[in-house]
Structure 1
Amino acid sequence: MAKSMAFADHIPSEIDVEAASQLRKVLASIVDDPNTDNSLSLVDNEGKPAQVVLTHAIAETFLNVLRLIQNGQGFHLIPHDAELSTQQSADLLNVSRPHLIKMLEAGNLNFHLVGTHRKIKAKDLFEYMKARDDDREKALKELAMNDVELGLI
């Protein structure tokens, strides 16, 4: 049995990229209506067919993962109930750990102490990231509108 290698630990090989590309095309061809679940036929190692219901949410998640692999990127899956260290959180936010600590102490992001260590719930971090991204998008739209009003575009 081959040793399992997660994409968090290595960059996808050419074989991984090609397989992801093929599977993504198959999934994309059956995922069209977000309100409709799809059925996928698979064959197990013994040659027995199996029908699998593929909800739109699951299909979109698989497509996103396959897109990362197809583009040669590694990734981590983080459950919403995971507790992250300050370094893990800083890495996900693409900020330094000291900057993250300042954000925590300023009350910008929820955390709790485990002994002397600060822990951030992944759910809270993802909510913060979404709010931050929404604010950035709003600011960019306002800048674009200002450029239009000033005749710069």
Structure 2
Amino acid sequence: MADPKSPVSASEQSLAEVVELARFMEGKRTQRPRLVGPRGETLELPEPVFHLLRQVVTVLARGDAVTVVPVHKELTSQQAADLLNVSRQYLVRLLDEGALPYTKTGMHRRIRINDLLEYKKKRDAQRKAGLSELMQMSQDFGGYSECS
């Protein structure tokens, strides 16, 4: 069995099936989704479980990997840096500047995943707003010509 902390991705062989499953899960539902066991037994899936499965399948269908992390979990600085796609040194600087709250366990910093995800959400929104502003400025100064 694979390590539950390791990212999971769809192999090249299974990617087409995952894409098909993602399309199926996005379709209109008239009944609650069910899980079918190996002997044909069925169990209705609670809505939060189906929602999570749909998110996981959507990410896998894009060819990305997925790791499920409990919300109350604390991450090491390296894990947090990996999640933000930055270097550990850069993350430590963010922590030292107070951009992200953290606790110390001995000499090691621990970052709550909730805090990290909230920071990422704000950072991504700021980046998107900045990019939109740059695009608008470029258009205003004639940087983009109209395509016909």
- 2: distance between equivalents of 1:29 and 1:10? 24
- Offset at 1:66? 1.1
- Offset at 1:80? 1.7
Equivalenced residue count is 144
The secondary structure found in structure 2 opposite 1:119 is: strand
Q: Please give the root-mean-square deviation of Cα atoms over the aligned residues, in Å.
A: 2.6
Structure 2, gaps ≥5 residues long = none
The secondary structure found in structure 2 opposite 1:39 is: coil
Is the counterpart of residue 141 in structure 1 residue 139 in structure 2?
no
Scaled by the length of structure 2, the TM-score of the pair is 0.80
- 2: distance between equivalents of 1:59 and 1:10? 18
Deviations 1:57-101 (A, max 9, x none): x54532331133234432211222110000101111111111111
Find runs of 4+ consecutive structure 1 residues off by over 4 angstroms. Answer: 4-7
- 2: distance between equivalents of 1:136 and 1:67? 24
Equivalent residue for 1:45, pick from 28, 38, 41: 38
The secondary structure found in structure 2 opposite 1:13 is: coil
1:89 maps to 80
Q: Percent identity?
A: 28
Instruction: Answer with 128-137 or 39-48: which moved more.
Output: 39-48
Structure 1, gaps ≥5 residues long = 32-36
Is the contact made by 1:81 and 1:122 (CA closer than 8 Å) also made in structure 2? yes
- 2: distance between equivalents of 1:132 and 1:9? 23
Is the contact made by 1:80 and 1:122 (CA closer than 8 Å) also made in structure 2? yes
1:34 maps to none
